[in-house]
Amino acid sequence: MSNSGNPIEVNEALVRKVADLARLALTDAEVTLFSTQMKVTLGYVEQISKATIPEGTEPMYHPFDMATPMRDDTVVTPMTTADGKPKMIRSAPDTLYEGFKVPPIL
């Protein structure tokens, strides 16, 4: 892989820096293993970057042209209890406004 024409030297210092940026704690054995794996991976990226693509080639989003099967939306009335509340709500640990109550996230 190139950075302004200069190849990136993959070494243990680079792996430690990337791990630090990702807030990962790596053992010495992992650093050694990952530096080897990173060299191999970046070698593949280097090969891919050398590929020539004919002018006007559209990007592929999927290797096959497949249409997503669609179906009509149908409204299904939920099963209710004798008092008219949805049966699904019975299993909820807590309810609010005849629906599931969940903890606030903000």
Convert the pLDDT of each residue in 6-52 to its tens digit: 567 899 999 999 999 999 999 999 999 999 999 999 999 999 889 99
The stretch 66-85 carries a mean pLDDT of 86
| 83, 98 Cβ separation under 8 angstroms | no
Domain span holding position 20: 2-49
**pLDDT, tens only, 50-62:** 999 899 988 888 8
- Establish if 6 belongs to a structural domain: yes
Per the confidence metrics, is the pTM higher than 0.85?
Answer: no
How many domains are contained in the chain?
A: 1
Q: What is the pLDDT of residue 64?
A: 84
In SS3 terms, 5-64 reads as CEECCCCHHHHHHHHHHCCCCCCHHHHHHHHHHHHHHHHHHHHHHCCCCCCCCCCCCCCC
- Establish if 95 belongs to a structural domain: no
Q: What is the pLDDT of residue 5?
A: 54
Q: What is the pLDDT of residue 13?
A: 95
Give the residue with greater pLDDT, 83 vs 101. Answer: 101
The stretch 61-89 carries a mean pLDDT of 85
Q: What is the pLDDT of residue 81?
A: 84
- Establish if 59 belongs to a structural domain: no
Task: Tell me how far CA of residue 37 lies from CA of 4, 10, 42, 104, in angstroms.
Answer: 23, 10, 9, 42
Q: What is the pLDDT of residue 6?
A: 57
> Which CATH number covers residue 11?
1.10.20
